[in-house]
Amino acid sequence: MRPVIASTTVADPARTRATPPGSGRPVRHLVVLGDSTAVGLGDPRPGGGWRGFGPLLRDALSDPSRPDGHVRLDNHARTGARMAATRHEQVPAAAAARPDVVVLCAGMNDTMRSDFDPAALRRDCAEALDLLGRAGVTVLLVRFHDHTRVFRLPAVLRRALAARIAALNAALDGAVADAGIPVGVLDLDVPASYEAAAWSVDRLHPSELGHRLLARGMAELLAARGWAVPGTVGLAPEGGREVTAWHRGAWLVVKGVPWLCRRGRDLGPVMLRGVAEGARLR
């Protein structure tokens, strides 16, 4: 039987409102799994560390009018995690805890590596969804945009990465079909994902606004699945740290250039194959 897939996009303010008081099942326990975006990178706290869509979504799901209305949030995500690591290192603990809702945001790091394997990624994602589904969890899965339209790259690398992101999304779609459970899919391939304001200084992670859009889309998915969403996710900056031109310059020198060098070495073979294929076609 083909699973029912609830799907939405990151930005539709008119449709994303708090559910009426008393309607829907209250969320008691929320778990976030995945990579650096799930950690919250790009949305810095004033005192250090990261916030991200997890706490924003938790606050929207909490009901301060009830003594037991505060939602517990566990975040097992880690920076650099790939789909296999998420499946084997993060998912078992989440399934054992039997939370109400799990958000899974992983796979983009796989596209940045020379050993990218869509078939293995599909298998790992399907196993993760199946394990969470058997634990009775409502699962939200992130489906990705074409990041080459956000982070400018040389033409050869841009084409290679865009093809990999398309293969990643196909693998995620296949994993949902393989798992056979209802999954809420947040599709990031919408105009809001390509706005500069939605991205942090590194152009790799969402900004505070980007994380707010993610949380808002997830709240919409949960409301559609019958979960109570007492609060709303506003889009105005609140509680984050202001990012200045100095921060952007410092990141470019300290983080940006070294990152490009590392990824260039890892994806060098991909670039060479792209050049060879282009020459063959010409």
Residues 110-123 have pLDDT tens digits of 998 889 999 999 99
Is residue 24 within 8 Å of residue 229, measured between CB atoms?
Answer: yes
Mean pLDDT of all residues belonging to the chain:
84
**How confident is the model at residue 202, as a pLDDT?**
84
| Beta partners for residue 183, in sequence order | 5, 139
**How confident is the model at residue 160, as a pLDDT?**
87
Given pLDDT bands bounded at 50, 70 and 90, which one contains residue 263?
low
Query: Is residue 13 scored above 90 in pLDDT?
Result: no
Integer Cα distance of 205 and 63 in angstroms: 29
Cβ neighbours of 209 (radius 10 Å): 21
Integer Cα distance of 50 and 62 in angstroms: 20
Query: Is residue 5 scored above 60 in pLDDT?
Result: no
Query: Is residue 281 scored above 50 in pLDDT?
Result: no
DSSP E strands, the chain = 5-9, 29-34, 72-75, 101-105, 138-143, 183-187
Query: Is residue 272 scored above 60 in pLDDT?
Result: no
Cα pseudo-dihedral 69, 18, 106, 241, rounded to 10 = -80
Alpha helices in 152-207 (DSSP H): 155-179
Is residue 24 within 8 Å of residue 226, measured between CB atoms?
Answer: yes
**How confident is the model at residue 151, as a pLDDT?**
82
> What are the structural domains, with CATH classification, of the chain?
5-281 (3.40.50.1110)
**How confident is the model at residue 107, as a pLDDT?**
97
Integer Cα distance of 262 and 20 in angstroms: 49
**How confident is the model at residue 80, as a pLDDT?**
93
Q: Give the 3-state secondary structure of residue 255.
A: helix
Given pLDDT bands bounded at 50, 70 and 90, which one contains residue 267?
low
Residues 38-47 have pLDDT tens digits of 999 999 988 8
| pTM, 2 dp | 0.83
Given pLDDT bands bounded at 50, 70 and 90, which one contains residue 153?
confident
Residues 239-248 have pLDDT tens digits of 665 655 445 4
Residues 35-84 have pLDDT tens digits of 999 999 999 988 889 999 999 999 999 999 888 899 999 999 999 999 99
Given pLDDT bands bounded at 50, 70 and 90, which one contains residue 12?
very low
Structure tokens at 269: 């073979």
Residues near 8 by Cβ (< 8 Å), separated by ≥ 6? 184, 185, 186, 187, 217, 220, 221, 224
Structure tokens at 7: 């799907």
Q: Give the CA count within 13 Å in the CB-facing half-sphere of 269.
A: 6
